[in-house]
Structure 1
Amino acid sequence: MQSSDFEKERIASGGLKSSRTEWIAIEPPHFSRNPHSSVRMNHSDSLYPPSFHQSQYDIVLRRQRAHQEGKPKFTGVPSRFLNLTNDFEFAGWGSISHLKLAPEDISRGELEHNSFREQQVLGQFTASALAANDILGGVFYTLPSVVAVAGVYSPISLFVAALTLFLWRPIMEELASAFPISGAPYSYLLNVSTKSVALLGAALLLLDFAATVVVSAAAATSYLAGEILLPFPVYVGVVLVLVLFTFVSLSGLRESARIAAGILAMHIVVITMLIVASAIALGRGGSAQLSSNWSDGNTGMPSAAIARQIFNGVCIGMLGLTGFECAPAYTAKMKQNCYPKVLRNLHLSTLVLNSGVMLLVVALLPIEVVESGENILSLLAQKVAGRWLRIVVVVDAVVVLCAGVLTGIFSACELFAELAYDRVIPRAFLATLPVTGAPYVTVISFIAFSALIYGSTGANLIVLSQMFSMVWLAVMGLFPVSLVLLRFSRPRLPRVSRCSLLLVVGAIIVTLAITGGNVAIGPSIAGWFALYIIVILVLFSFSQNKVTMLRWVYWAYDQLPWLHRQQLTKGWGLGLIHLMRSLRRREVCLLVKTDEINHLFNMILYVRYNEETSCLKLVHFHQGDIPSEMVANAKILDEAFPEITVGLMLVEGQFEPKNLAALAHHLKIPRSLMFMSSPGPNFQYRVAEFGTRIISI
């Protein structure tokens, strides 16, 4: 072939510039074999492209000419199916295309980019309220459990438990500064690890949110039943609470946040009244009751037994911190620089409230009354101010605990949305009501799942609370693990906040120690925890690996040849093939900057192992200059993966959020299915503005 023929072939196949000084060289340069030589010698110093006798590019072109466009890429590998076709396992050939975004696409991209900032509607107080109602409501059901194991040392245990959050706050702030996105820690793991690891985090989060809803609803009903005679069983009251807050959640995000803020304001007023009245009563009556309780709790106990009591109280006292993990779940909805303040508000409030109220309880009530496990705060209110304050505290307890239901639902909606965008669950979970915009499929499904958990435990609040504590610890353990993976896998990712590695290690050690303590207190906790996690992971695995499951069904059908001859069953194979092809045709984009084939190869491997698709498009934004080997390497990779169609799209324009949103609109591909490499510290945009997944260093 003459040089002019080569030039025509090269331009037609890649659409590159026709300059004689730019060509695609597949064959690597030949270097000197002398190890002492510092001169690197190319096979040719000519400004003209090498001939086909010197270049290996003709191998790619010959193979491309040999196949018919649109036909699948077959290989010599034997089929695992002995009686049926395996055509569906092979994809078609990719194409090279150029794109200049249309004005309507660009305007749509600008609109979507602007809506990213408009969704940040939660201020410091409103964002704090959503999680605070859960974390502060824990005081109503945590105190009796802690007193049962720690006795008079309960205030110390609760204070130490709250101190542990000093380890987690810097960790969570660094993670959020790197990934200011919703669905944490599932989203964190998805961007720093594999999808399978991320689904483990999603399973823990889902169980945590469900436990939040069920325990809050059950505790509210039990608290009310302890004060008045209900005309129905407690479990009926729990169902009524779930139904009520289902309708509240369907009213929409803004309305739910405002309700949560109003409830928090009421709770602060009531707790302040209780603390002030208790302090006045303590000043008038003196510390006689505290001294009596202290002496009773210290009688004949060795130091080791006292330390074990305090440690057990710390383990159970972690239940009073539940809700802290909910704040990262809706980080994307918060205004800028609001998240660290939210964590601070949540931490300081629980640090003062839990241990402070517990100290007042031990100082004013006999220890045997406290250990009875009844509504402790209502008894305290009765003693320090009379019947009126007791009624107020009971009403506050019921309302705040019900607000914990709202927190769990709200956090679950954010998680389900992320899972739907990532094709883990059906996109039907993104369906919203036309007026309020509430995700009704998600809300109803999550409430049904929570009710199922409540019913499967026999409506046992003790079992639910113990499991809740275990799940919460597991979720909190995901944050330091995510940060370790972030620093190892995405070290270049820009972030404002950084914490010490000692804090990360300390958080992991504390998580393991307290988890072991909880298992030692109630070994059955681990059984319930493992049961629910396994069930959720199996469901996620089936949903994530639908094509794999169908391939197993197809294989089983292939092993039974007599079914192929039956009139009713001979079309099953074609139906399975059609379903598998339709599931695999959903396209995924890789946003690439370099033409280094090893980098492109690793990114395609990620897609192959983490996404069920046979359609992959390499997308490169450019402003005139295109990497010299981009087209050739795309063709090589297209041939290297017979089960995937690897195409290349060269998009004219700058790589920025609005252009990426415009491209997503043009291709009808959600940005959550566009993957990119980790940006460097000088990158001018935030990761959250792109809405893409980071899959490489």
Structure 2
Amino acid sequence: MSSEAPLNPLVSRKSREAQDELCELPTIAESNSPHIRAGHPPSFAESQFDVILRRQRARRVNSGALKFTDSPSRFLNLSNDFEFAGWGTVTYTELSADDLRGGELTIQNDHGHPILGEWMASAVAANDVLGSVFYALPTLVSVAGVYSPISLFVATLTIFLWRPIFEELASALPITGANYTYLLNVSSKSFALAAAALALLDYVTTAVISAATASAYISGEVSLPFPVFVGTILLAALPVGISLCGLRESARTAFAILSLHGLTMTILCVTTLVAWMRAGNSQLHDNWISAQPGSASAVARQVFNGICIGMLGLTGFECCPDYASTVKRGKYPNVLRNIHWPAILLNAPLMLLILAVLPMPTINGGANVLSLLAEKAGGRWLRIWVVVDAVVVLSAGVLTGILSACALLERLAHDRAVPQIFAKRMPLTGSHAVAIFAFTVLCGVLYASAGANAVIISKMFTLTWLSVMALFPVSVLLLKFNRWRLPRTNRASLGVVVAALILSCVVFAGNVALDPTTVGYFAAYATALLVSFHAAHNRVRLLRWVYWAYDQTPFLHTIRFVARHADSLVAVFRRMRRHGVVVFTKSDEIHQLFRVVTYVHENEETACLKLVHFYANVDEIPSELEANAKLLDEAFPNITIDLIFVQASFTPVVVASLSHRLNIPRSLMFMTCPGTHFPMDAGEFGTRIISL
């Protein structure tokens, strides 16, 4: 409403008279009472009467009355009624049998996901990690030369820094979503959205580079009737079609693909080793002499540059936390070990075999270096086998990128960070058609803007992957500082966490120094995604700016078409802020309640907040909870703060039942950080942790 509108009284006349009488009473500092000077507590009239007034204040809750303020309005010509919410209520709620059945069904569905054993779980991410040799090795040789095996070996060792970090995050927050959900539970939603933008860019670059590399291997085997970039599009279209049909990856399929890839790489390495033994070290010696830099500093630079590029051969490790919650309890560290050690044993030795058998011009001449190695070592049959393996593994990488992006966008939609249409499923197949379409368009734009150059995309992929990996130590640092009470079985030392973060920054800077133009692509896409996510999350604020611009342009008010749509804009405001948010509280301390309400005000665009307190006996309800809830209801005029008392225990089933009763998803239910003696895992509740 405009500032000139009449103000509704916040209190009744009797309450105002009582307040006037109260204002005439001396304060503690001004009182000359001997009791106060002697240190006695203040009397009822001196300190408690204002609390009684707050409890007894009459409000027209059911009449639709708004909370008004005498603060000036930013809108000079239009009403600002939409910025003010109604008064909150205080209710005592009982969960019905239907609510409890709905909660139990929700928990059963949560537990209905298959629990993966150590080997099946290892296969899910190992395909991406071990499949990266197809696109990482050619790029590595171009900068590290004959020192590529050393650089690649050092790069694989760096994962030892991240393994304890992954273990601590998974034990403290056994939930899906990796960096986005980690940061959402230990920091602000804006920071978490930045992680989501980087994760989505990582999935996009994974899909594009996988399809481009598979197309390069096919074009090196047969003469295609069309350009390579057309083959890339066709290879990407197949996983897109599979995902639209509702077919999803499974652990068994991933294990089968990994078995094929492991067998292929084993046969390739053994065959190449035999060929090396037969031919001797002449080829390795020639490569060593021809590609030898001129000084020790040049050698050190080549090794360092190789480490920077060699990190591309480790892509896929960032996917491990995505499914940590589905791994059998206590087996997650073994999963990380099972993925890491094969990468150590495969990447650097395979690079050495390439240098021992193939001449350097051949290595630098094409992207299908492994198929060339197969033909030189074993013949045509092995080359065809390697090409088939490359197409299968890399196509699975494209499908992984699509499905991971769909899962991320669905989670963002449930958290009201992006429009709800991204969570919609097709009626027949159950696939996320809108999310798949958006992901496909983004892949096409990225591939076209890079000029269909796989080298540029692979370098950009390295920067994206390093940024995602850097967020894991950041998440642990915030976990240690902001959620130190959260129970967990594994803890990474502070030195390891800081070392991983510093290493990420150093290697990122090294890649930028190698090719400064690549950071332009990375920054452009990362910024575009970040702006898009924040715009989607803050769409009410953006629309308020549009409404303000309309208010400041009076001649537009005379145009009937514009005025009609301005009224529709107000309706959109209210509809967007109608969804509810729940905060569980067990304390009546005003500073804690103020902190959680402030979090909701800053991170969620809602006008409906429900404070929920679970109790066993009425006598155990904190005495000032209702009064302080009413005070906060006054302090935040744009949020309706309801207080709900539920006579039940705080358990996952009860929380799910309340979600069923209030029709509010558990992803929009917030709780404080549980302590070390809390009997359940925080991940079982499906809620967000927003305070210490």
Q: Which among 291, 311, 326 is matched to residue 318 of structure 1? A: 311
- How far apart are 1:124 and its partner, in Å? 2.9
Could you say if the C-alpha distance between residues 205 and 67 of structure 1 is closer, same or farther in structure 2, counting changes exceeding 3 Å?
closer
Task: Give the direction of change, closer, same or farther, for the CA distance of 1:374–1:584 in structure 2 (3 Å limit).
Answer: closer
Shift of 1:295: 3.6
Q: Structure 1 residues 623, 449: CA separation in 2 closer, same or farther (over 3 Å shift)?
A: same
1:125 has 2:119 as partner: yes
Contact 1:213–1:405 (8 Å) recurs in 2:
yes
Determine whether 1:285 maps to 2:285.
Answer: no
Asked whether the 8 Å contact 2:104–2:657 carries over to 1, the reply is: yes
SS of 1:43's equivalent in the other structure is coil
Structure 1 stretch displaced more, 672-681 or 565-574: 565-574
571-580 vs 118-127, greater mean Cα deviation: 118-127
Aligned counterpart for 1:83 among listed residues 54, 66, 77? 77
Matched, 1:664 2:641: no
Give, in whole Å, the separation in 1 of the partners of 2:489 and 2:27: 41
Could you report, residue by residue, the CA deviation over 1:317-373 in whole angstroms, capped at 9, with x for unpaired residues? 111111111121233343333432222222111111110111111122223322323
Which letter does structure 2 place at the counterpart of 1:571?
A: R
Q: 1:496 to 1:253 in 2, by over 3 A?
A: farther
1:70 paired with 2:64, answer yes
CA contact (8 A) 2:170 2:325 kept: no
Alignment of 1:309-458 (within 5 A): 309-434=302-427, 437-458=430-451
Equivalent pair of 2:73/2:80 in contact (CA under 8 Å): yes
| Partner in structure 2 of residue 3 of structure 1 | none
Q: TM-score, structure 1 length as denominator? A: 0.91
Check the 8 A contact 1:614/1:644 in 2, yes or no: yes
1:479 aligns with 2:472: yes
Q: Spell out, residue by residue over 1:154-178, the C-alpha distance to the aligned partner (whole angstroms, 9 max, x if none).
A: 1001000101100011101111111
Return the match for 2:103 from 100, 105, 109: 109
Give yes or no for contact 2:120–2:255 (8 Å, CA) kept in 1: yes
Q: 2:691 pairs with 666, 690, 696, which one?
A: 696
1:77-129 superposed Cα distances (whole Å, 9 cap, x missing partner)? 01011111111111000000001110111111111112212114443333322
1:548 aligns with 541
Q: CA offset at residue 247 of structure 1?
A: 2.5
2:347 maps to a residue whose letter is N
- Kept after mapping to 1: 8 A contact 2:582/2:670: yes
CA contact (8 A) 1:81 1:555 kept: yes
Shift in Å at residue 254 of structure 1? 5.5
Contact 2:28 2:46 in 1 (8 A): no
Q: 2:596 aligns with which of 592, 603, 607?
A: 603
Contact kept, 8 Å, 1:519 with 1:525, in 2: the verdict is yes
Question: How far 1:255 sits from its partner (Å)?
Answer: 4.7
User: Equivalents in 1 of 2:47, 2:127: separation in Å?
Assistant: 74
Q: Does residue 1:263 correspond to 2:250, yes or no?
A: no
Q: Which residue of 1 aligns with 2:586?
A: 593
User: In the alignment, which residue of structure 1 is the partner of 2:507?
Assistant: 514
Residue pair 1:183, 1:328 contacting (<8 A) in 2 also: yes
Give the drift of 1:466. Answer: 1.0
Task: Give the conservation status (yes or no) of the 8 Å contact 2:135–2:367.
Answer: no
1:62 Cα offset (Å): 6.0
Report the more deviating stretch, 612-621 or 362-371.
362-371
SS class of match (1:594):
coil
2:627 corresponds to 1:626: no
**Contact (CA 8 Å) 1:151, 1:371: kept in 2 or not?**
no
Change in Cα spacing, 1:652 to 1:374, as seen in structure 2 (3 Å) is: closer
2:516 alignment partner AA: P
Pair 1:257–1:29, CA change in 2 (3 A) = farther
Secondary structure in structure 2 of the residue aligned to 1:399:
helix
Query: Distance between the aligned counterparts of 2:47 and 2:268, measured in 1?
Result: 90
Q: 2:645 aligns with which of 637, 647, 650?
A: 650
Number of aligned pairs?
663
Superposition CA RMSD, Å: 2.4
Q: Which sections of structure 1, spanning at least 5 residues, go unmatched?
A: 1-26, 45-49
CA-to-aligned-CA distance 1:277-310 (integer Å, 9 cap, x gap): 1222233333333233334444x63211111101
**1:661–1:294 distance in 2 versus 1, CA, 3 Å:** same
Matched, 1:679 2:678: no
1:165 corresponds to 2:159: yes
Q: Once the two structures are superposed, what CA deviation does each residue of 1:456-501 show, in whole Å capped at 9, x if it has no partner?
A: 2221211111111111100000000111011111110111110111
CA distance in 2, matches of 1:472, 1:181: 21
Distance in 1, Cα, partners of 2:224 & 2:658: 59
Q: Deviation at 1:534? A: 1.3
Are the structure 2 counterparts of residues 647 and 374 from structure 1 closer, same or farther at C-alpha, using a change threshold of 3 Å?
A: closer
Q: Identity over the aligned pairs, expressed in percent?
A: 52
Cα separation, 1, equivalents of 2:530 and 2:345? 38
Alignment CA distance shift 1:402-1:663 (3 Å): same
2:631 equivalent to 1:636: yes
Q: Given the two structures, how large is their TM-score scaled by the length of structure 2?
A: 0.91
- Once the two structures are superposed, residues 7-56 of structure 1 have per-residue CA deviations (whole angstroms, 9 ceiling, x without a partner) of xxxxxxxxxxxxxxxxxxxx9999x99xxx9x974336xxxxx5798522
How far is 1:65 from its partner? Answer: 4.5
**C-alpha distance in structure 2 between counterparts of 1:349 and 1:169, whole Å:** 15
Structure 1 residues 451 and 29: alpha-carbon distance in aligned structure 2, compared to 1, 3 A threshold: farther
State the match for 1:14 in structure 2: none
In structure 2, the residue corresponding to 1:618 is in which secondary structure? strand
Task: Name stretches of at least 5 consecutive residues in structure 2 with no aligned partner.
Answer: 1-25
Distance 1:432 1:451 in 2: 23
Match of 1:195 in 2: 189
Q: CA deviation at 1:637?
A: 0.7
Which residue of 1 is the match for residue 49 of structure 2? Answer: 55
Please give the per-residue CA displacement for 1:575-612, whole angstroms capped at 9, x wherever unaligned: 11111011111111111111101000000000001110
Residue aligning to 1:246: 240
Q: Is the CA contact (8 Å cut-off) linking 1:587 and 1:615 kept in structure 2?
A: yes
Q: Take 1:155 and 1:388, find their aligned partners in 2: how far apart are those partners?
A: 27
Give secondary structure in 2 for the equivalent of 1:569.
helix
User: In structure 2, what is the Cα distance between the partners aligned to 1:171 and 1:337?
Assistant: 15
Q: Secondary structure at the match of 2:610?
A: strand
Q: Matched residues in 2 for 1:656 and 1:467: separation?
A: 45
Kindly tell me: are residues 179 and 68 of structure 1, through their superposed partners in 2, closer, same or farther at Cα, counting changes over 3 Å? Answer: closer
Amino acid at match of 2:648: G
